[in-house]
Amino acid sequence: MNVLTGSADNSCRLWDCETGKQLALLNTNSAVRTCGFDFSGNIIMFSTDKQMGYQCYLNFFDLRDPQQIEDNQPYLSIPCNDAKITSAVWGPLGEFVNAGHENGEINQFSAKSGEILKKAKEHSRQINDIQTSVDLTMFISASKDNTAKLFDSTSLEHIKTFKTERPVNSAAISPIMDHVVMGGGQEAMEVTTTSTRIGKFEARFFHAAYEEEFGRVKGHFGPINCVAFHPDGKSYSSGGEDGYVRIHYFDPQYFDFELEA
Amino acid sequence: MKKAKQYLEGCWHAYFGFENTKVKVMLPLYFLVCLFFVCVFVFAELLLDILREKPQEADGIDSVVVVDNVPQVGPERLEKLKNVIHKIFSKFGKITTEFYPEADGMTKGYIFLEYAAPTQALEAVKNADGYKLDKQHTFRVNLFTDFDKYMTISDEWETPEKQPFKDFGNMRHWIEDPDCRDQYSVIYEAGERTAIFSNDAKEPITAEERARWTETYVRWSPKGTYLATFHQRGIALWGGEKFKQIQRFSHQGVSLIDFSPCERYVVTFSPLMDTKEDPQAIIIWDILTGQKKRGFHCESSAHWPIFKWSHDGKFFARMTQDTLSIYETPSMGLLDKKSLKISGIKDFSWSPGDNIIAFWVPEDKDIPARVTLMQLPSRQEIRVRNLFNVVDCKLHWQRNGDYLCVKVDRTPKGTQGVVTNFEIFRMREKQVPVDVVEMKDSIIAFAWEPNGSKFAVLHGESPRINASFYHVKNNGKIELIKMFDKQQANSIFWSPQGQFMVLAGLRSMNGALAFVDTSDCTMMNIAEHYMASDVEWDPTGRYVVTSVSWWSHKVDNAYWLWTFQGRLLQKNNKDRFCQLLWRPRPPTLLSTDQIKMIKKDLKKYSKIFEQKDRLSQSKASKELVDKRRAMMEEYRRYRETAQQIYQEQKSIRLELRGGVDTDELDSNVDDWEEETIEFFINEEIIPLGDL
């Protein structure tokens, strides 16, 4: 069982989950923004930022070929000339990667040839985060344009939109209910007067089919940067700019709740 | 007919007969003949054109205008006069010749101007006739040919031709909404889009929406008939059901406007257009005809509106150093042809109910400061009130003109601090008695109940701000009804119908709101619209809008709709929302008796309204339920298809994970072994003592 991490220290590392031992070190020319294993666990991908004269690249390594790791030579390296990749996830069967860009575009890159299989231009501003559903058939993209959108992983068909008044930093799909959770807020340096009230930054729950908000959880006093559901769907956690990670377990009413229809 | 036809046919056959020889000869001949005729035709046309341009005596005269009442000047000021005339008259076209007849070394007082075309001369007559150059000289402009025309006028009367009627439709269309929805204008996207909505409790209904309708902001006319938009070249007025352009006023760089209460005139101000000879900083326009009535100088626009209108639009006045100038309409001339000399005048204002002006003058050596009420047009002083040790005064009229409150800041003899008194003038009582209310703290805000006899005061200093309510009673007393302390408020907003009001802490006070019923001075609701910058009541007093304008705060720009009791109905987020203005209503057409009858039968009407409301509510929830059902069905269908594909791909997934089935969410509980382990932590020996 392995863990893959990418960092702004210009490296991507592979670890053994049980022992914590570092298994591989891949140096890069610029910061690593996003990374992930495909469904089989044999192929890894990560993207590097456009920095210090270096382009943004989407790199693919096959772990079954140790030579690639030793030589630090990906079998496929896709350059991104325009807007850099900000977040990316694998498709359901490891044949492609869905990547979100700084300009709001989502491109589907083939993991074999590197060509762009499909495009989606639904967001108007930067994509902050992409997370898949538990069965990998769909994913949700969180964007600076104050919305989060649900897409089909394979066709990149735009299915739903969830609107808020603040930039959305992260969004996740519940594994057991038709719910999505979103977290966001204005960055401290972009706003002249932030709310002085404690706990103004909230995690917001939307019904996936009706696109309507049905609940909010207060508590963070800084913008929320990341949200995730527990794999069993009975709790969720959120991490924020305030330096806190909050874990909430849902009470029974959450599972019984239904909007009138 | 038949014979003619036969004849023509015969000719046809003669000339275009199918015999070859004839055709060979006839066709080219025919062609030559045609060519000849064409040439003659063209030549004739050219000739006519040239003939047309031949200078004719009649042409020249058609482009000449005669201007009378021109100042008579000597040679040293002639050049300046010519410049002024040129500036005014070159607006209508190109002046090709000008002639200033003289006698005894001075100009005669009338001049001739020739334009490049007769249409330009007509423009000059239309717009410059009646132009007031200064107090003694109002231009009379006529076409030179008119003199001829009028001299040879026939004795027979001919009815003049009717001008085609420009129909803008029903200008009061919005009032006829069967559900009595009021309209309001919204500027958003930082000024790029302006929209007009009809206010419905459920959600706003768009009536009109345009991009770049205005360049800065908009204003409604006092009775709601027109919407004024601002542009670099002037303002435009829009109205009617489809908001067509009614009128346009050209005033380069206009920045501020003001309407007369009767909606007959509009005053525009532009800091750019002002010269000594031709005052154009402030222009007064007639709205219906589009005519420029008069131009004025303006030193500074710090206290707009510079011209204050009387309530019926009969007079307008402005204050300059030691002078009060009152003008009358429609002549636009000074009342009694002179301004009033009031030494030291600091401020004035019209009563909103009568043609009375209130003004105040500060202390002057031995003469105390005083407030004077003057009746117009008689200029009779109906009341004078002396005040002592005055630092400053502010005039607050009650909306019907029933009361005037003068807020007087004084420094009493022997003290350093400033105290405030409210001098309440009872306008409807004989000889206008004055009552005084003394206030201990500094005053933050003051407001009269619009059509009643109460007023509200915010006083004190943050955080101990108090809201006090007073009632001006008939028996000569002014009673303090109630005082709320420790309020978060810096502004007072009364409902236009009276009785209800909102105390708001805007901007720096983070949008604290308190909804008050002043009939028994209770707080109906306390709420908050974080960072609210504006509060606007609708003209009927049923709804309140609080808003966060992009002009004062760059995030969370939205406007919220509340009932008069403080119940939140809607939150409308608009990208870079800037301004919301309710459309004013014209005064009611019902008589007081009719209103009394309606109030008596209110129970009957309210039953009908409640039924209507319930129906629309259930319709709304039914619509919502239907919408949700449709969305869920669509979503289910998508998920089913996705699930199907997922199942079909199972074999691929098995292969990718080396034959291990990981599709189930829970890890295989059967693989788990539970073991309970005990291990030693600590030992503690506690002596129990002798039992």
| HEC profile of B417-452 | CCEEEEEEEECCCCCCCEEEEEECCCEEEEEECCCC
**C-beta of residue B536 within 8 angstroms of C-beta of residue B581:** yes
pLDDT tens-digit map of B227-254:
999 998 899 999 988 899 999 998 888 8
Asked if pLDDT for residue B1 goes beyond 80, the answer is no
- Quick one: pLDDT at residue A180? 97
- Quick one: pLDDT at residue B277? 58
Residue B146 near chain A (CB below 8 Å): no
All residues at 6 or more sequence positions from B460 whose CB lies less than 8 Å from its CB, including other chains: B441, B442, B444, B466, B485
For B22, the 3-state DSSP assignment is: helix
Instruction: Output the CA angle B348-B350-B352, nearest 5 degrees.
Output: 145
pLDDT tens-digit map of A59-108:
999 999 999 999 999 999 999 988 999 999 999 999 999 999 999 999 99
- Quick one: pLDDT at residue B690? 67
Q: Which residues of B touch A92 (CB under 8 A)?
A: 646, 649
Cβ distance of A94 and B625 shorter than 8 Å = no
Query: What mean pLDDT comes out for the span A96-123?
Result: 94
Residue B637 near chain A (CB below 8 Å): no
- Quick one: pLDDT at residue B471? 94
- Quick one: pLDDT at residue B125? 86
The reply to whether B453 and B552 lie within a common domain is: yes
B665: nearest CB among A166, A211, A232: A232
Q: How confident is the model at residue A187 (pLDDT cuts 50, 70, 90)?
A: low
Cβ distance of B628 and A260 shorter than 8 Å = yes
- Quick one: pLDDT at residue B459? 93
For B416, the 3-state DSSP assignment is: coil
Cβ distance of B657 and A39 shorter than 8 Å = yes
Query: Which residue, among B621, B656, B657, B667, would best test binding to A if mutated, counting the most A CBs under 10 Å from its CB?
Result: B656
- Quick one: pLDDT at residue A161? 96
Cβ distance of B629 and A186 shorter than 8 Å = no
Residue of A nearest to B663 (CA): A135
B553, B570, B589 - which closes a domain: B589
CA distance A192 to chain B (A): 8
B665: nearest CB among A93, A192, A231: A231
- Quick one: pLDDT at residue A10? 93
Instruction: Output the CA angle B217-B220-B223, nearest 5 degrees.
Output: 175
In percent, the amount of chain B with pLDDT more than 90 equals: 44
Domain count, chain B: 2
For A223, the 3-state DSSP assignment is: coil
Q: How confident is the model at residue B588 (pLDDT cuts 50, 70, 90)?
A: confident
Sheet holding A2-7, edge to edge: A2-7, A11-16, A22-27
DSSP states of B59-79? HHHHTEEEEESPPP--HHHHH
Q: Which of A38-47, B129-138, B193-202, B371-380 has the lowest mean pLDDT?
A: B129-138
Helices marked H in A42-126 — which ranges? 66-71
Cβ distance of A40 and B628 shorter than 8 Å = no
Asked if pLDDT for residue A184 goes beyond 70, the answer is yes
Instruction: Output the CA angle B329-B348-B440, nearest 5 degrees.
Output: 155
- Quick one: pLDDT at residue B275? 63
CA distance A137 to chain B (A): 7
Distances in whole angstroms, Cα of residue B678 to Cα of each of B582, B674, B675, B681: 76, 13, 10, 9
In percent, the amount of chain B with pLDDT more than 70 equals: 91
Of the candidates B308, B336, B341, B335, the residue with the CA atom closest to the CA atom of residue B322: B341
In a domain? residue B189: yes
pLDDT: is B13 or A134 the higher one?
A134
Residue of B nearest to A200 (CA): B530
Q: How confident is the model at residue B605 (pLDDT cuts 50, 70, 90)?
A: confident
Whichever domain contains B138, its CATH number is 3.30.70.330
In a domain? residue B630: no
CA distance linking residue A14 with residue A24, whole number of Å? 5
Query: What mean pLDDT comes out for the span B540-556?
Result: 91
CA distance linking residue B359 with residue B304, whole number of Å? 17
The verdict on pTM exceeding 0.90 is no
Asked if pLDDT for residue A196 goes beyond 60, the answer is no
The reply to whether B98 and B193 lie within a common domain is: no
The reply to whether B198 and B94 lie within a common domain is: no
Residue A152 near chain B (CB below 8 Å): yes
pLDDT tens-digit map of B617-649:
888 788 888 999 999 999 999 999 999 999 999
Taking a contact as any Cβ pair under 8 Å apart, which residues of chain B between 543 and 572 contact chain A?
Answer: 553-556, 558
**C-beta of residue B460 within 8 angstroms of C-beta of residue B454:** no
B134, B152, B170 - which closes a domain: B152
Greatest Cα-to-Cα distance within chain B, rounded to the nearest angstrom: 162
Asked if pLDDT for residue A191 goes beyond 80, the answer is no
The reply to whether B514 and B582 lie within a common domain is: yes
The reply to whether B452 and B562 lie within a common domain is: yes
Residue of B nearest to A136 (CA): B646
CA distance A10 to chain B (A): 30
Q: How confident is the model at residue B53 (pLDDT cuts 50, 70, 90)?
A: low
Q: What is the CA radius of gyration of chain A?
A: 19
Query: What mean pLDDT comes out for the span B325-341?
Result: 89
Cβ distance of B628 and A261 shorter than 8 Å = yes
Residue B669 near chain A (CB below 8 Å): no
Q: Which structural domains are found in chain A, ordered by start?
A: 129-260 (2.130.10.10)
- Quick one: pLDDT at residue B24? 61
The reply to whether B82 and B203 lie within a common domain is: no
Residue of B nearest to A232 (CA): B665
CA distance B626 to chain A (A): 7
pLDDT tens-digit map of A136-176:
999 999 999 999 999 999 999 999 999 998 899 999 999 99
- Quick one: pLDDT at residue B23? 56
CA distance B609 to chain A (A): 27
Asked if pLDDT for residue B503 goes beyond 60, the answer is yes
**Average pLDDT of chain B to the nearest whole number:** 87
Query: What mean pLDDT comes out for the span B335-349?
Result: 90
pLDDT: is B291 or A193 the higher one?
B291
Asked if pLDDT for residue B16 goes beyond 70, the answer is no
Residue of B nearest to A43 (CA): B656
pLDDT tens-digit map of B274-314:
666 567 788 999 998 888 898 888 876 678 888 999 999 99
**C-beta of residue B582 within 8 angstroms of C-beta of residue B182:** yes
Asked if pLDDT for residue B25 goes beyond 80, the answer is no
Whichever domain contains B464, its CATH number is 2.40.128.630
Burial class (CB in 10 A: 0-12, 13-18, 19+), B11: exposed
Q: Which of A160-169, B197-206, B269-278 has the lowest mean pLDDT?
A: B269-278
State ipTM.
0.89
The reply to whether B585 and B489 lie within a common domain is: yes
Of the candidates A199, A120, A105, A123, the residue with the CA atom closest to the CA atom of residue A162: A123
CA distance A215 to chain B (A): 16
- Quick one: pLDDT at residue B413? 83
In a domain? residue B649: no
All residues at 6 or more sequence positions from B514 whose CB lies less than 8 Å from its CB, including other chains: B467, B484, B487, B489, B502, B503, B504, B523, B525, B526
The reply to whether B510 and B579 lie within a common domain is: yes
In a domain? residue B617: no
Residue A199 near chain B (CB below 8 Å): no
Residue of A nearest to B625 (CA): A261
Structural domain including B86 reads 64-152
CA distance linking residue B581 with residue B577, whole number of Å? 12
CA distance A31 to chain B (A): 30
The reply to whether B127 and B199 lie within a common domain is: no
Residue of B nearest to A186 (CA): B555
Cβ distance of B657 and A40 shorter than 8 Å = yes
Output b/e per residue, A104-120; b: 16+ Cβ within 10 A.
Answer: bbbbbbbbeeeeebeeb
In a domain? residue B437: no
In a domain? residue B237: no
Residue B646 near chain A (CB below 8 Å): yes
All residues at 6 or more sequence positions from B651 whose CB lies less than 8 Å from its CB, including other chains: none
The reply to whether B510 and B457 lie within a common domain is: yes
Query: What mean pLDDT comes out for the span B66-88?
Result: 89
B589, B618, B642 - which closes a domain: B589
Asked if pLDDT for residue B364 goes beyond 50, the answer is yes
All residues at 6 or more sequence positions from B553 whose CB lies less than 8 Å from its CB, including other chains: A193, B531, B533
Q: Which residues of B touch A198 (CB under 8 A)?
A: none
The reply to whether B88 and B189 lie within a common domain is: no
Residue B376 near chain A (CB below 8 Å): no
In a domain? residue B122: yes
The reply to whether B570 and B487 lie within a common domain is: yes
Q: How confident is the model at residue B365 (pLDDT cuts 50, 70, 90)?
A: confident
Residue B531 near chain A (CB below 8 Å): yes
- Quick one: pLDDT at residue B354? 92
CA distance B670 to chain A (A): 18
Residue of A nearest to B510 (CA): A195
- Quick one: pLDDT at residue A192? 47
Residue B623 near chain A (CB below 8 Å): no
In a domain? residue B428: no
Q: How confident is the model at residue A188 (pLDDT cuts 50, 70, 90)?
A: low
Residue of B nearest to A94 (CA): B656
